[in-house]
Structure 1
Amino acid sequence: MFLTNANSLYRSPLDPRDAETLGLPAATEVERFLTFRDDNATTPLVALPNLADKIGVASIHVKDESHRLGLGSFKALGGSYAVIRLVLDKATEKLRRQVDVAELATPEVASVAATMTFACATDGNHGRSVAQGAQLVGARAVVFVHAGVSDERVAAIARFGAEMVRVDGTYDESVKEAARVAEKHGWTIVSDTSWPGYERIPGLVMQGYTAIVREALRALPEPPTHVFVQAGVGGIAAAVAGHLSVALGDERPIFTVVDPARAACIFESAKAGHPVSVPHGEPTVMAMLECYEPSLVAWRILSRVADAFMTLDEEDAIAVMRRLARPLSGDPAIVAGESGGVGLAGLMKAASDPDIRTALGLGPQSRVLTINTEGATDPEKYAEIVGIAAAEVIGGNLENAG
C-alpha cells in the first residue's frame, strides 16, 4: 500500500517544540555528548552503486547503524542519551548549579545517579540502550518486555545489569505496564513513544537520533533527493524527517515512511489524517517495528514533513536481508536485522512500481539515503532467515577487501 501525504498540516512549519528538539543547536549538543562516550565512532555510510544501477537511480547510500556504540542499533543513540540528560538535570537540581556532561563521572553526579531508577518497555534495542545508559551513569534500570521478545534479546539487555520483567501480550501492553509500575514506585520512564502529557523524554530520545543525519550529510557527496526510513511508533522516521526539514529547508529530500503491513500504525494514521491505533494481528518478522499505536510527537512531525507513506509485506523484509548479505557483485555486504533494511526494501518496492516511481519522482537523477537501523541483534534469528551467520557476511567483506 502507498499514499502521499494529504494531511491538512502537510508542508506547514514544525511545531516550535519539535523545531527546538530537532534543530541544529540541539543536534550539535548531541554530538558533543557523544564525544564523552568511550565507544563513540561515526557509523559507516555504505554506497551500493550496482543496486542503484539495477533499480534505476543515481545512487543509494545506507547509513549502517549496526556499528553504533557497541549495541548494533540506532537506538543506542536515544535511550542512553536521554538517561544521561535526565541524570544531569537531576544533578543540576540537587547541586543548585548547571552540571555539564563533562562532570558525568564525578562523585557528586554519580551519587545523584545512584538514587535514580529508569524504566522502559522494549522490543529489544531501546531497552539495551536504556540499560547501557543506566550502567554508564551508575543508575538502576528495569526493563519490561512483551511475550514476543526472544530470550536472546532479553539476555542481551540483562547483560547491562538491567532487571527484566516479562509482560503478557504486545509491545503496547508492555508500555502501559511499565508506565503503571514506574508511577507506583516513583521511577523515571524513558520511553521512545509519547502520549498526552508525556512528551519531553521521548523528545530527548528522538533528539539523540539527529546524530545519524548530521553524520550522513557530512559524508554524502551531495544531499539526498529521496529518503526512505522505517517506522515502528515513528520516532526514528520523525527525527530524521524533522531534522532534514530544519537543516535543508526547501531543499529537503522527498521523505517516505515505511511500515510493516502487519503493524502499520503510521500508515493508517496518515490514511485517517490523525493518530490511530491498529488491531493486533499476526506478528511481523520486523520485530523492532511491531507497534500498533503511533507516538503522538512523531505523528505531529510526520504529518507536516513526511511526503509519502507505504507498507511492506513479510517477504519484502526477508528479501532485503538476504540481498544485503549477498549483494550484487561489486557492492559491499551489510548485516541487516529483521527491521534493519526495511527502508531500503521500501525503495526497492517503490522503484519496481511505475505509479509509485512517478508519485515520488524516482528516476536516474535520484540520490537515495536509507538507514540500516539494526544489525543481527538476534544472531540465531538472523542466521535462520538469511542462511548464513552474520560473522560470515562480515568475513566475506574482509576477504573481498583483501
Structure 2
Amino acid sequence: MTTSLFSPLTAGSMSLANRIVMAPLTRNRAPNAVPTPLMATYYQQRATAGLLITEATAISHQGQGYADVPGLYAPEQIEGWKAVTAAVHAAGGKIVTQLWHVGRVSHVDLQPNGAAPVAPSAIAAKTKTVLLKDGAPVFVDTSVPRALETSELPGIVNDYRKAALAAIEAGFDGVEIHAANGYLIDQFLKTGSNLRTDAHGGSIENRARLLVEVVQAVTDAIGAGRTGVRLSPVTPANDVIDADPQPLFSHVMQELAKFDLAYVHFIEGATGGPRELADRPFDYDALRDRYHAAGGKAAWMVNNGYDLALAQGAVNNGADLVAFGKTYIANPDLVERLKQGGPFNEPDSKTFYGGGAQGYTDYPALQA
C-alpha cells in the first residue's frame, strides 16, 4: 500500500499529523535575539504542518552570525519562545527549534566585545552575512576567524546541552542540531574548513567527533526521541567542501545509528539550489541503506526543491518526512494547498530578511 504524504507518523517521541515539515527559514525578525509576538503569529499560522522547525537559533552569543536572529541562551529569549510554542500547540501543531552555532560565518560586529568569530581553523569563509543598517539588511563579508583551542570545545558542547534544556523549558517538542550548511559542526566535518591536527581534525573519525559529542550531550540532556540532526553532504553553502563526502557521511550515519534519534534531516544537493551537482555526485540511497544496516531507526527527512509530485515520490521511495522551505514562506496553509494541488502564493524575496508583518504574516490563506 502506498504511504500518503498526508498520513500520520511517529518520529521519536513526537506524534505527527502528516509527513509535511516546515523547514528552518532565517527571517531576521528577532531584535536583540529575542523572539517577538509577531513570530508567534507566524509559526501559529503554519501549525498544520506535521512538524515545524524554527529558524536557526543561536546557542550562545558567540554562536550568532546574522543580525536579528533569535537566541536560546538568555531568560528573555526563553520567555519569548514560550509564547511561540504555546501558540503552535494551541493550534494543534508540533514544533522543534534548530540549535545553531555559526562558527566562522559571522562578523566582529555580531560577536561579544567585537571578538573574532571562531572556527576549526583560521580560514575565512568566502561568503556573506547580514548586518542591519538603519533597520535595513546589509550583506557584508564575514570576518576572519580564529581557530578554537582544544580546551574550548567542551564548553561549546555544553552550550548545545544548555540550549537543548532551555528549549524544553520554552515548551518545544524537541530540537534539531544544525550540522549543515557550512556552520560550525559542518566546518569540523569537512576537509576544506578543518585543518586541525588534534583529536578533532585529520581522519574522518576525528572530524566527526564534535558532532558525536554534541549529539551525546543533547540526547543525554533531553532524550534521543526529542532530538533530530540536520546534514548537508555536498552543499557549497557558506564555502564548505569535503574532498570525499561519501565515506565521511557513511561514517556519520554509522555513528548516528547508535542513538535512537527522532529524525535525520538531509539537504540534497545545493542548499536552495540544484538537487544534483555534476561536480560532486552523492548517493543518498546508499547512505540510508548504511544507516539502516547499522541499526538506525530515526525518521528520514528529505529537503530541497520539493513540490507535491516530488514529495509523494520521495515518500513512496522510503522517505518518512519531506521539508518545504520557500513555499512555506508564502503559503501558511501549505498542507491544505498541497491536498488541493494549489493554487500557491509566490514568495516575495524582498521581504525574506528583516522587516515586520509585510511578507511575513500577511500572506493570504485559501479560506481568505
Please give the TM-score of this superposition, normalised by the length of structure 1.
0.35
Please give the TM-score of this superposition, normalised by the length of structure 2.
0.37
- More contact order relative to length (CA 8 Å, sep ≥ 6): 1
Larger helix fraction of residues: 1
Rg larger in structure:
1
